[in-house]
């Protein structure tokens, strides 16, 4: 628990990771302010957090601010000791105009950093993603670390990936040139799974939802690095105050990657009848390649068939004292919460 009432701004309080950050900060005794894009969203966000088990809810306040506008950010950061900048547009796959994703992410990050600097914030923790580290590279046995950056125009790098690369680079450039005494730390989570909040299914939890719904006839030969959203939230709070975290990037991964068929096996082992539609068979690579001729979804995964990326979480463990759950825990927690909230077919 904190010994003083320090205030933390969490941007994008309606989001999956941000919501869990808010819950963890409140549990640790912080005063928390979070942003919503319109005042009308406040009651809905508070209700979702309450339903998710929020404690110390009277220590939570709201500010109205949008990543695409300057208005509101000065008030949002006023009086804050730290900022967790979690908000960013999420759109996986093709988009009509990449600037709709890249602009708010890159310009919004700089907008938040500038406001935080002007308000005398000690440190900003920015949520980047593994998309800024491990994409666009040729397949090798390399182990990805925080020293790696994704290839901006490399194979498999979509608009969302480019938004993460460009936003993080813009953040580091801003702090180096104009940040003053303010510190920056960036976190790079892999595929985030875990307990769903409200009625929204976010990020990699879609894999679990589609498995439980029976939307997948079988699993292609794909491998996913996974991290539990609760551990991502813990890492944000650790990175906020750890002396050695200033000026550093941290990869967040639970450990070895999981094959999609292993995700299915975990759901069948733990969810009983709720997992009756989860497939047990694999889809041969040749079938995926043929399907890719007609489907953008399959086309995007062909380059990664049979390739398991290796990712080091040693730095987060060493510097932050971070101890993540096993990947299977995140998968099962996601599945249980989806069933509990009736977000899959019964």
Annotated active-site positions, please?
164
The three-state secondary structure class of 213 is helix
Residue 178 dihedral angles phi and psi, to the nearest 5°: -135, 5
Residue 124 dihedral angles phi and psi, to the nearest 5°: -110, 130
**CA separation, residue 116 to residues 79, 83, 209, 243 (Å):** 10, 7, 37, 19
Helix (H) or strand (E) holding 186: strand 183-189
Tokens of 311: 């990712």
Q: Which residues pair with 35 in a beta bridge?
A: 63
Beta-carbon-side half-sphere exposure of residue 238 (alpha carbons within 13 Å): 22
Q: Is 191 exposed, middle or buried (0-12, 13-18, 19+ CB in 10 A)?
A: buried
- Show Cβ contacts of residue 114 under 8 Å, excluding neighbours closer than 6 positions: 73, 174, 178
Q: Is residue 127 within 8 Å of residue 236, measured between CB atoms? A: yes
């Amino acid at each position: 628990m904190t010994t003083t009432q320090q205030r933390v701004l969490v941007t994008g309080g309606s989001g999956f990771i941000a919501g869990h950050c808010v819950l963890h900060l409140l549990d640790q005794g912080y005063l928390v302010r979070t942003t919503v894009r319109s005042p009308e969203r406040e009651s809905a966000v508070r209700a979702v957090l309450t339903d998710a088990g929020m404690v110390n809810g009277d220590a939570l306040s709201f500010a109205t601010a949008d990543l695409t506008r300057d208005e509101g950010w000065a008030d949002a950061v006023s009086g804050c000791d730290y900022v967790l900048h979690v908000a960013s547009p999420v759109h996986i796959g093709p988009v009509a105009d990449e600037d709709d994703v890249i602009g708010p992410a890159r310009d919004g990050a700089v907008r938040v950093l500038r406001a935080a600097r002007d308000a005398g914030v000690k440190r900003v923790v920015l949520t980047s993603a593994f998309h800024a580290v491990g994409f666009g590279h040729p397949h090798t046995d390399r182990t990805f670390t925080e020293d790696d950056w994704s290839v901006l125009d490399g194979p498999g790098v979509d608009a969302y990936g480019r938004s993460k690369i460009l936003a993080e680079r813009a953040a580091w450039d801003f702090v180096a040139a104009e940040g003053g005494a303010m510190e920056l730390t960036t976190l790079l989570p892999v595929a985030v799974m875990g307990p769903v909040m409200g009625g929204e299914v976010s990020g990699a939890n879609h894999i679990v939802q589609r498995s439980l719904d029976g939307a997948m006839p079988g699993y292609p030969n794909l491998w996913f690095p996974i991290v539990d959203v609760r551990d991502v939230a813990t890492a944000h709070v650790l990175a906020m105050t750890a002396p050695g975290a200033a000026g550093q990037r941290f990869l967040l991964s639970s450990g070895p990657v999981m094959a999609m068929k292993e995700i299915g096996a975990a759901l069948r082992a733990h969810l009983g009848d709720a997992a009756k539609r989860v497939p047990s068979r694999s889809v041969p690579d040749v079938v995926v390649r043929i399907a890719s001729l007609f489907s953008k979804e399959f086309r995007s995964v062909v380059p990664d068939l049979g390739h398991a990326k290796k990712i080091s979480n040693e730095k987060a463990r060493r510097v932050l004292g971070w101890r993540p759950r096993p990947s299977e825990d995140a998968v099962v927690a996601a599945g249980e919460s989806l069933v509990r909230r009736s977000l899959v077919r019964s």
